[in-house]
Structure 1
Amino acid sequence: MYQHKVTNTKTIVTSHKKRLALHCVHNLTRTAMTSSYEPLFKSKIVHIDLKGSPPKPTYFSELFPLLAKLGATGILIEYEDMFPYTGTSLESTPALNAYTPSMVSQINQLAKENHLEVIPLIQTFGHLEFLLKLPQHMHLREVPDQPQAICPTHNETLPLLFQLLQQVAKLHPESKRIHIGADEVYFIGRCTACQDRMNNKLWSTSDLFIDHVSAVAKFVNGKLGMRPMMWDDEFRSFTEPQLVQSGIGSLVDLVVWNYKPTLELDRDIWTKYLNVFDAIWAASAFKGATGSNQQITSVRYHVENHRAWLRLIAEYRDTPYLSKFKGIMLTGWSRYDHFAVTCELLPAAFPSLAVDLLLLQYGENHVHLADQEAVQYLGCTGSFIFQQSQDTYYPSCNFPGWEVFSVIQNYGQVMEQYAKVLNDSVVRGWLTDYNLAKQFSSPTHLSGIGTELSYLQNSFDALKRESEIAFPAVYDMNTTKEWFESHVKPMADKVSELLMGIEVLRSKNVWPRRPI
């Protein structure tokens, strides 16, 4: 159904009997290798970040069954402005292509059919750009010219946030948990109202932060009957007595995030969290953590991040603390924030997600097995991890959105060629802005580089055609257009500019004496 033919690629044909025999041997090997391993994470939640490149709801009917097969137990849906908010104060908040209530219900039903828990995520402190950018809410900004964080002291703040949470909870009647965000609050205690409040109560910005998130958490617990979860990073600088005194440890499930191959989490932070919080979740990344405009997902990088998490949690296997670890959230960021360009598309990162989920099932030392199984599940050939180059082209796959994955791989190859051409000695020496401005260059050197630039121009045109054909199976036209304009068009325009410059330069037959 998803099979995509790639031209100029050697076709690998394997008989059905041989595939069946290999599959049986593989299953026996897997059983022998993993029979004694008890997975450290019972709950494996896959993050779907809708603030960038939101998939069509129909795509989830193909995606969710595969996630379940790979071992996922739930999804964390970060709606941002893709939720259909209503009411006088929120009716202008949804994106123009936001999901409808029936679409949200459809997603919930599809998740239920595949035994996937649904955890909605709504930011309630920082990363509220989608709300605070609007004229009707700009008065709630902590800093007037910064739409990143909301003022926790303004008397309209909590009622507005409670509306957001109530509407989301209403359309997720079977969800038991809700994530309230609260990471990366860049501005706190800056406005006059907050400073007066801190002075009157002899508070620090830490007190202000914990008062706000506690109020939100109590609302979620008491009024919505749901368990709140929140990111941990703002608590990293807190002292253990501060956290104990606040009572936050019993109010929220803490989600501790780190996306590096070597976890950058101080041991003292872990001790503090384990002593304070009743429930702790890990948060890894399968995409969206290696560059704000990254398009090619490094499977190796993200596998090492998951191996690091497995090593850390394994240290607590024989301690009473192990019961505090409730699961892991595999984050897949689509934008670094509301204003950033999109980073990796979900189908392009599926090899990473598949290997990561299987590694969590089989254990840190079974990377080869997780890789082999991921290749098999996605209907690909070769290896996602142990190939000679991270840019290896997979000639055939068979998973939802494979066509988009193919376009992104082509994009990676074109970008490599683009970088090579622009770093060419001719471009750097005879096709600079100075050469173009002065119309002064050697026609001897321009002919060859013109041919390479023309080839690149054709490649960019092909990428546009390919994306327009492949993307609609997963994305609406807005995502297709944004991806091309953000990640392809700037380079294509540069190539066109250089080609036009070459035409002008080659039209010259005599040149002035220096100085020019």
Structure 2
Amino acid sequence: MSAAALFAWLTIIILFFPGAFAFAETQKPADKAKTEAVKPFPIRGFHIDLRIEVMTMPALKAFAKELAGMGINTLVMEWEASYPYEKHATISNKYAYTREQVKSFVAYCDSLGIDVIPLQQCFGHVEYILRHARYSELRESRKDISQVCPSQIEGDKKLFTDLFSDMASLHKSKYIHIGGDETRLLGHCPVCSAKAAEEGTGKLFADYIAEMCKIVVGMGKIPVLWSDIVLKYPEAVKQLPKQTVYVDWNYGWKINHFGDIGKLLDQGLTFWGSPAIRSHPDNWYTTDWEKHFNNQRDFIPYARKAGYQGMVMTSWSTSGVYGFTWDTNYEVIDMHAIRNVYPLSGFRILVAAYAQSLKQAEPLNPEKFVVQYAQDRFGLTAAEGEKLWKILIVSPNVVKVDTPEDVAKLDSVKKSVDAAKAMMATLTPNDHQKEFAHLRLMLDLRDFYLAFKQVESVYESDNYNREMGKVILPRLKKLLDESKDLNARFAELNKGFLYPDEIKQQNHIRNEKLKNIYEAVANVR
């Protein structure tokens, strides 16, 4: 084509298709550089905690599909007792899925481009195993059954070879997450205590975890473990396979909270990071939204810069610490989670923030994100989005009624939450009303709880007597009546997400203390 002809064609394109070169003309060099700088994490994961609040299989699949649409390519499944163990069926609880359901879920995730990594704890956090008499000989302690004894190595290896093999049979992933975090009882029993004294507590940990890793590597898999104890005893890495993946869980604290990560990174070890959208101090009555947004804002850019190869968002349904109903000789009758948290169904806004954080080079701006999310997701105005942000960050404090100062703080927090409720009443979403209803319910539960704590502060005061009981009884009765409406709303919003009996149980747990105090004051027998 001649120069004249080319010029003529360009003239026609510019005249009749003025936007044809718009992107090339308007993209500033800085914007282009920023776009090119965002190298995605190879592992973009989400951790699903099924220790309590076991999701129904349709809910699990729906959530996986939504995550895939957000760019997530990995799920870490902490099945615990919801897993249908074959040879060790004693471990599985009443909410356990069938083996066909697990196969179907893994296959479905595979069709979405999601790798499903099983998480099988093998050291601490194994109450759900050690509660059973079948495994009692492996306990590090009779009274605290959270941890296996690493000195019972033959029994440990036999058990976890079976459990890892079972997980591998239903999961295609090249990884198996073996846990290994918060091993608080290291060196507790006499045998372990002697070894720790002679060789060091770090060696006690390293010897055991090395054996667990050998089992996984022997299956042709790559071991993944939480990094907190390795960071505490960094010499342990010398005994672990080079391909081991270390997961640095950081829920909002300083980077070297557990130990010097830089020294391990310098050794060429593979690290993934794990922030959280549900963690301490969250419970039924408070969610520290701002903490979780800020966790993403701070930790994800750090991990990208530090060269982490993956990011796996955690979402904890409970603290992982349990109380027990015991019988003679420490026979376990039942175990109860110490801390219960609102179900994952109410936290899509934080999940979406995580997905956005993975896609952009700059740190997340929490307030800006929430304001935009309110407009895009709920059809609210920018001004209403600002209101939603203020509502989410209002007074997340855990309240106490131990001292007059505590009560004064409680009253102040209650006023702040009352103001937030009034603000929430002005917001009417045009889209995704059910999702918004979760946020509204969480705020109402917070307000309800604070009202109860105000009554409890009278009940627990130094001058409480029978006459004062007559004063607080109507207030307690009113709260019990209000709880019925909250229970119904919770049941409706989580229908199909949790099993009916779980919903009933969670409503019971949330109101148990109120009911106990009411019955004591009213002499209900």
User: Is 1:272–2:263 an aligned residue pair?
Assistant: yes
TM-score when normalising by structure 2:
0.75
User: Is 1:334–2:317 an aligned residue pair?
Assistant: yes
- Asked which structure has the greater RCO (Cα within 8 Å, sep 6+), the reply is 1
- Contact 1:178–1:229 at 8 Å: present in 2 too? yes
Give the Cα–Cα distance (whole angstroms) in 1 for the partners of residues 272 and 468 of structure 2.
Answer: 62
* Structure 1 residue 415: Cα displacement: 3.6
2:213 match: secondary structure: helix
Give the Cα–Cα distance (whole angstroms) in 1 for the partners of residues 259 and 182 of structure 2.
Answer: 21
Q: Which amino acid aligns with 2:310?
A: G
Q: Which amino acid aligns with 1:137?
A: Y
After superposition, give the CA deviation of every residue in 1:218-241 in whole Å (9 maximum; x if it has no partner): 21112x2111100011122225xx
What does residue 112 of structure 1 align with? 110
Tell me the percent identity: 20
* Structure 1 residue 194: Cα displacement: 3.2
What does residue 23 of structure 1 align with? none
* Structure 1 residue 77: Cα displacement: 0.5
Q: 1:151 aligns with which of 149, 154, 179?
A: 149
* Structure 1 residue 456: Cα displacement: 3.0
Give the Cα–Cα distance (whole angstroms) in 1 for the partners of residues 372 and 114 of structure 2.
Answer: 21
What does residue 131 of structure 1 align with? 129
User: Is 1:238–2:260 an aligned residue pair?
Assistant: no
TM-score when normalising by structure 1:
0.77
Superposition pairs for residues 30-429 of structure 1, below 5 Å? 35-39=35-39, 41-87=41-87, 90-154=88-152, 155-172=154-171, 174-195=172-193, 202-222=198-218, 224-239=219-234, 242-243=235-236, 246-248=238-240, 250-260=242-252, 262-265=253-256, 269-291=260-282, 293-313=283-303, 315-316=305-306, 322=307, 325-337=308-320, 339=322, 340=337, 341-367=339-365, 370-371=369-370, 374-375=373-374, 378-379=377-378, 381=380, 382-383=384-385, 387-390=389-392, 393=424, 395-396=428-429, 403=434, 406=437, 409-420=440-451, 422-423=453-454
Give the Cα–Cα distance (whole angstroms) in 2 for the partners of residues 194 and 353 of structure 1.
Answer: 42
- Contact 1:83–1:94 at 8 Å: present in 2 too? yes
CA RMSD in angstroms comes to 3.4
* Structure 1 residue 497: Cα displacement: 6.0
Q: Which amino acid aligns with 1:389?
A: I
Note closer, same or farther for the CA distance 1:82–1:38 as it changes in structure 2 (3 Å cut).
same
Give the Cα–Cα distance (whole angstroms) in 1 for the partners of residues 278 and 342 of structure 2.
Answer: 7
1:122 match: secondary structure: coil
Give the Cα–Cα distance (whole angstroms) in 1 for the partners of residues 259 and 139 of structure 2.
Answer: 34
Give the Cα–Cα distance (whole angstroms) in 2 for the partners of residues 213 and 252 of structure 1.
Answer: 11
1:472 match: secondary structure: coil
**Which has more helix, going by share of residues?**
2
- Contact 1:51–1:80 at 8 Å: present in 2 too? yes
Give the Cα–Cα distance (whole angstroms) in 1 for the partners of residues 169 and 250 of structure 2.
Answer: 31
Q: How many residues align?
A: 445
- Contact 2:224–2:244 at 8 Å: present in 1 too? yes
1:285 match: secondary structure: coil
* Structure 1 residue 384: Cα displacement: 8.3
- Contact 2:296–2:364 at 8 Å: present in 1 too? no
* Structure 1 residue 376: Cα displacement: 6.3
- Contact 2:122–2:178 at 8 Å: present in 1 too? yes
2:47 match: secondary structure: strand
After superposition, give the CA deviation of every residue in 1:428-456 in whole Å (9 maximum; x if it has no partner): 6699796553x368x9xx5xx77765543
- Contact 2:250–2:274 at 8 Å: present in 1 too? yes
After superposition, give the CA deviation of every residue in 1:79-126 in whole Å (9 maximum; x if it has no partner): 111111122xx2211012211101111211221222111111010101
After superposition, give the CA deviation of every residue in 1:413-437 in whole Å (9 maximum; x if it has no partner): 244244246537xx86699796553
Give the Cα–Cα distance (whole angstroms) in 1 for the partners of residues 126 and 459 of structure 2.
Answer: 48
- Contact 2:43–2:73 at 8 Å: present in 1 too? yes
What does residue 476 of structure 1 align with? 499
After superposition, give the CA deviation of every residue in 1:38-69 in whole Å (9 maximum; x if it has no partner): 14534221110000101001112321221122
- Contact 1:40–1:360 at 8 Å: present in 2 too? yes
Note closer, same or farther for the CA distance 1:473–1:268 as it changes in structure 2 (3 Å cut).
closer
- Contact 1:255–1:283 at 8 Å: present in 2 too? yes
